[in-house]
């Protein structure tokens, strides 16, 4: 394939990347940027106009975008919150949701076997923390109890599925997978964590990292990209999903980054990710959706959407109501908001369906329906949560909790 043929689909993808935020703004945020990106990829892809098709070069750009999305999600995780009572109960709620999802899948699709049930169960019980971050920020709830609860549930809703993918969907024995994960951690510590830890104690290098958080050198971002790609490579070598390496890279970066540079670092990562690579990931994912699968089984699409709401969202609402998981969250309205935000999933769904399809655990049609169901959660559930917030009584409440409506920005 010559250079022109390589660049032609990329030009169309970047055009979709540029148009999507304008469409999100025109829709006043009710149709988020992420959904427009998926729809744009679907439009230019083989299922509709056939102007662009998946390829190795585009797939590599998409993988980097996927890595940056999960790196940002891992970067936002507070380890202390994960070890707290709130974090432990969040893990309990996710484990119950996952078990129910596996049982549900076994009942309706018994022929695909345990690993197929697990793949669908993971897809039905994930949370799109990376996608939710800008939505929560724009909705004005990120720094409220609802936002804090969503962040912890979202962290568990991404880390849990990532670990489940690594343990259950590689085609190896469970105990062997556990040993591979241990090997991953050991190699990561020896090749990444220790060098970075020792390097950060060298005064001259530490100063260079702090100074390099801005300016033309962007040393910190360059080191982070090295960590990200190295851990994604290590995951691939050990036959683990690259999402695991990306997620751990984000958690690692947050832990070892100079405190003086954290704010600039987060801004730089968001600029690097959301300006190009992450949108390209969503456009590329949209290109792989099979429209025919939706036309042939619209009720299955509706069923998957309902299953996500019932198997992920409802346990969150019940957990908040009866276990009082998140401090400061009171009343059914706020508990329902957390359930709606927590049931919003897409990136994990894209990742797990891609892995399950390549392993022949599920068909491409089922994968497409799951991805579209995930897109529907991004389209519908945060909007419903925003409506609940907009209609909340303001008397006696903190004005900061009301927050503005979603403004259409990412």
Separation of alpha carbons 378 and 374, rounded Å: 7
Q: At 393, is the secondary structure helix, strand, or coil?
A: coil
Cα–chain-centroid distance for residue 255? 20
Structure tokens belonging to residue 115: 């690993």
pLDDT higher than 50, residue 249: yes
Task: Give yes or no for a contact between 193 and 252, defined as CB atoms under 8 angstroms apart.
Answer: yes
Q: Tell me whether residue 400 is in a domain.
A: no
DSSP of 10-65: HHHHHHHHHHHHHHHHHTTTSS-HHHHHHHHHHHHSTTTT-S----HHHHHHHHHH
* Band of pLDDT at residue 126, cut at 50, 70 and 90: very high
pLDDT higher than 70, residue 212: no
What CATH number corresponds to the domain at position 338?
A: 1.20.1530.20
Q: Tell me whether residue 86 is in a domain.
A: yes
Range of the domain at 181: 3-393
Contacts of 33 (CB under 8 A, 6+ apart): 20, 21, 24, 134, 279, 409, 410
Q: Tell me whether residue 407 is in a domain.
A: no
**What pLDDT digit, counting tens, does each position of 45-75 carry?**
988 898 988 888 898 999 899 889 888 888 8
Separation of alpha carbons 247 and 159, rounded Å: 8
Q: Tell me whether residue 245 is in a domain.
A: yes
**What pLDDT digit, counting tens, does each position of 287-314 carry?**
888 777 777 888 999 999 999 999 999 9
Residue reference for tokens 């090997």: 183
Task: Give yes or no for a contact between 40 and 283, defined as CB atoms under 8 angstroms apart.
Answer: yes
Separation of alpha carbons 386 and 31, rounded Å: 13
* Band of pLDDT at residue 326, cut at 50, 70 and 90: very high
**pLDDT computed for residue 280 by the predictor:** 93
Q: Tell me whether residue 406 is in a domain.
A: no
Number of domains in the chain: 1
* Band of pLDDT at residue 349, cut at 50, 70 and 90: very high
Separation of alpha carbons 47 and 53, rounded Å: 9
Taking the complete model, does pTM exceed 0.85, yes or no?
A: no
Q: Tell me whether residue 408 is in a domain.
A: no
State the Cα angle at 206 between 204 and 211, rounded to 5°: 95
Q: Tell me whether residue 327 is in a domain.
A: yes
Task: Give yes or no for a contact between 150 and 342, defined as CB atoms under 8 angstroms apart.
Answer: yes
**pLDDT computed for residue 408 by the predictor:** 37
List the one residue out of 39, 50, 38 whose CA is nearest residue 278: 38
Structure tokens belonging to residue 381: 């559930």
Q: Tell me whether residue 398 is in a domain.
A: no
Separation of alpha carbons 325 and 31, rounded Å: 30
Percent of the chain whose pLDDT exceeds 90: 35
**pLDDT computed for residue 354 by the predictor:** 84
Contacts of 325 (CB under 8 A, 6+ apart): 86, 89, 90, 93, 149, 153, 319
Contacts of 228 (CB under 8 A, 6+ apart): 67, 68, 71, 245, 246, 249
End-to-end CA distance of the chain: 35
Residues in the chain: 410
Task: Give yes or no for a contact between 127 and 337, defined as CB atoms under 8 angstroms apart.
Answer: no
Contacts of 322 (CB under 8 A, 6+ apart): none
Contacts of 309 (CB under 8 A, 6+ apart): 343, 377, 381
The rounded radius of gyration (Å) of the Cα atoms in the chain is 21
Count CB neighbours of 284 within 10 A.
26
């Amino acid at each position: 394939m010559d250079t022109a043929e390589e660049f032609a689909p990329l030009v169309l993808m970047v055009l979709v990347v540029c148009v999507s935020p304008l469409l999100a703004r025109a829709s006043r945020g009710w149709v988020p940027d992420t959904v427009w990106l998926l729809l744009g990829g679907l439009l230019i892809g083989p299922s509709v106009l056939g102007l662009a098709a998946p390829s190795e070069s585009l797939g590599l750009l998409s993988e980097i975008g996927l890595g940056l999305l999960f790196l940002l999600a891992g970067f936002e995780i507070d380890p202390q919150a994960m070890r707290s009572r709130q974090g432990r109960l969040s893990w309990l709620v996710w484990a119950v949701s996952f078990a129910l999802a596996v049982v549900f899948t076994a009942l309706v699709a018994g022929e695909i076997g345990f690993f197929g049930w697990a793949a669908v169960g993971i897809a039905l019980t994930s949370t799109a923390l990376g996608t939710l971050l800008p939505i929560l920020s724009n909705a004005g709830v990120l720094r409220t109890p609802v936002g804090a609860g969503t962040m912890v549930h979202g962290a568990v809703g991404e880390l849990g599925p990532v670990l489940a993918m690594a343990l259950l969907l590689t085609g190896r024995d469970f105990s062997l997978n556990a040993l591979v994960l241990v090997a991953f951690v050991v190699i990561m510590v020896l090749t990444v964590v220790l060098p970075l830890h020792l390097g950060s104690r060298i005064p001259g290098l530490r100063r260079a990292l702090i100074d390099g958080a801005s300016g033309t050198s962007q040393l910190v971002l360059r080191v982070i990209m090295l960590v990200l790609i190295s851990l994604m490579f290590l995951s691939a070598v050990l036959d683990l999903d690259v999402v695991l390496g990306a997620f751990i890279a984000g958690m690692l970066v947050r832990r070892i980054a100079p405190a003086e540079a954290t704010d600039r670092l987060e801004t730089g990562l968001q600029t690097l990710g959301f300006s190009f690579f992450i949108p390209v990931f969503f456009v590329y994912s949209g290109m792989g959706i099979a429209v025919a699968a939706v036309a042939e089984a619209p009720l299955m699409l509706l069923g998957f959407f309902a299953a996500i709401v019932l198997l992920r969202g409802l346990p969150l609402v019940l957990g908040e109501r009866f276990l009082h998981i998140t401090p400061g969250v009171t009343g059914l309205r706020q508990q329902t908001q957390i359930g709606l935000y927590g049931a919003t999933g897409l990136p994990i769904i894209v990742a797990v369906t891609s892995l399950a399809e390549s392993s022949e655990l599920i068909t491409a049609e089922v994968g497409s329906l799951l991805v579209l169901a995930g897109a529907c959660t991004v389209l519908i559930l945060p909007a419903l949560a925003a409506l609940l917030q907009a209609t909340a009584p303001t008397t006696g409440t903190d004005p900061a909790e009301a927050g503005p409506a979603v403004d259409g920005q990412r």
